Amino acid sequence: MAISNASPRIRLITGASSGIGLALTRHWLGRDTPVIAVARRASSCLALRDLQKQGMPLHCINTDLTDETALGKLARQLQQAPLLPEQIINCAGHLHDNQIGLKPEKRLEDVTMEKLQQSFLLNAFAPILLAKHLIPLMPQDRPTVFASLSARVGSIADNHLGGWYSYRASKAAQNQLLRTLAIETRRRHPNLCVLALHPGTTDTPLSKPFQRNVPAHKLFSPQRAARQLATLIDGAGEKDHGRFIAWDGRDLPW
Ligand SMILES: NC(=O)c1ccc[n+]([C@@H]2O[C@H](COP(=O)([O-])OP(=O)(O)OC[C@H]3O[C@@H](n4cnc5c(N)ncnc54)[C@H](OP(=O)(O)O)[C@@H]3O)[C@@H](O)[C@H]2O)c1
């Protein structure tokens, strides 16, 4: 099914091929609202292709968010379509990746330049560059949302356990970049709400290797995490601009 700006509110979701991003995509498509799904392999993702086969208003775009040239291309594609999103939800992120030898550090000796760079590229730099390229496309005359999935472990004040140097630090950097964005956009995009969100520990490929010590009632299904996040995002307004909040709507310490 084609999407156009004559349809109801358009949402753009990154990381839409897996985990929470895919669950959010299903959540909103299930409510008949169009979604632009972005991932490196969005067009070959079987779950997304199934949704398209069912006639859902879903548009898939392959983009590597760590490549700024690709982000510029994504913006041009959206402008030309035109597909101008009212909500952008960044769900792309990584904690481990066998293909690039990324795994969370247990101790100082595990920290390497490469792991730090890989973590910062996707978890910190991609969200702010996504904002740089896509916020100019968002309508200015109605409420809009730019939300990005951070993580409680990115909170410096809440860091009592240590470990996971690169992931923690990259999420803390993302938080600072989003906070700075919120300050600038308050003036330049008064209808935009910028949010950093902690989804809660959720059963996805990202958390799979680290679920052993998580009590069952604290491990959300992707569907539940998506429902909770969608409630926050759809209810977000001026009062929430620049906040770092958890799935239950509570503020997290920076
Ligand atoms: N799961 C949890 O318990 C949990 C807890 C706290 C915070 N979070 C945060 O929530 C977010 C979503 O996590 P998840 O658990 O849903 O992870 P996931 O299932 O591993 O999904 C990650 C997504 O990111 C995309 N991605 C990876 N590298 C990319 C790149 N270079 N360019 C574009 N897209 C890329 C992947 O798609 P492709 O491979 O197709 O590109 C995939 O769709 C992450 O930021 C994570 O840090 C998760």
**Residue 2 belongs to some domain of the structure:** no
- List strand residue ranges (DSSP E) for 107-210, in order: 144-149, 192-198
Confidence of residue 126 (pLDDT cuts 50, 70, 90): very high
Residue range 154-204, pLDDT digits in tens: 999 999 999 999 999 999 999 999 999 999 999 999 999 999 999 999 999
**Residue 57 belongs to some domain of the structure:** yes
Q: Whose CA is nearest to atom 9 of ligand 1?
A: 149
Quick check: CB of 21 below 6 Å from ligand 1?
yes
DSSP label at residue 250: -
The atom of ligand 1 lying closest to the CA of 21 is 16
User: What backbone phi and psi angles, to 5 degrees, belong to 134?
Assistant: -105, -25
DSSP label at residue 95: S
Tell me the one-letter amino acid at 235. Answer: G
The whole-number pLDDT of residue 196 equals: 98
Confidence of residue 250 (pLDDT cuts 50, 70, 90): very high
Quick check: CB of 96 below 6 Å from ligand 1?
no
What are the C-alpha distances in Å from 31 to residues 8, 24, 27? Answer: 10, 11, 7
How far apart CA 240 and CA 191 sit, in angstroms, is: 12
**Residue 5 belongs to some domain of the structure:** no
Q: How many CB atoms lie within 10 A of CB 80?
A: 8
Quick check: CB of 166 below 6 Å from ligand 1?
no
Q: Quick check: 5 pLDDT over 90?
A: no
Task: Find the Cα–Cα–Cα–Cα dihedral 124, 125, 128, 129, rounded to 10°.
Answer: -160
The whole-number pLDDT of residue 3 equals: 77
Confidence of residue 1 (pLDDT cuts 50, 70, 90): low
> Tokens for 98?
């066998």
What is the number of structural domains in the chain? 1
Q: Whose CA is nearest to atom 7 of ligand 1?
A: 151
The whole-number pLDDT of residue 6 equals: 65
Percent of the chain past pLDDT 90, that is, above it, reads 95
**Residue 4 belongs to some domain of the structure:** no
Supply the CATH number for residue 42's domain. Answer: 3.40.50.720
Confidence of residue 4 (pLDDT cuts 50, 70, 90): confident
Residue 245's contacts (CB-CB under 8 Å, 6 or more residues apart) are 195, 196, 197, 198, 232, 251, 252
Pocket test for ligand 1, best of 178, 202, 206 (most atoms within 8 A of CB): 206
The whole-number pLDDT of residue 95 equals: 97
Mean pLDDT of 226-246: 97
How far apart CA 249 and CA 240 sit, in angstroms, is: 10
The whole-number pLDDT of residue 7 equals: 62
Q: Quick check: 139 pLDDT over 80?
A: yes
**Residue 6 belongs to some domain of the structure:** no
Residue range 214-230, pLDDT digits in tens: 999 999 999 999 999 99
DSSP string, 181-226: HHHHHHHH-TTEEEEEEE--SB-STTTGGG-TTS-GGGSB-HHHHH
Give the range of the structural domain holding residue 240, as residue numbers without chain letter. 11-246
Q: Quick check: 34 pLDDT over 80?
A: yes
Quick check: CB of 26 below 6 Å from ligand 1?
no
For the entire predicted model, the pTM comes to 0.97
Q: Whose CA is nearest to atom 19 of ligand 1?
A: 19
Pocket test for ligand 1, best of 88, 120, 204 (most atoms within 8 A of CB): 204
Quick check: CB of 15 below 6 Å from ligand 1?
yes
Q: Quick check: 67 pLDDT over 70?
A: yes
The whole-number pLDDT of residue 2 equals: 67
Quick check: CB of 40 below 6 Å from ligand 1?
yes
Using the mean position of ligand 1's atoms as its centre, give its distance from the Cα of residue 19 in Å.
7
How far apart CA 246 and CA 242 sit, in angstroms, is: 13
Mean pLDDT of 34-41: 98
Tell me the one-letter amino acid at 193. Answer: C
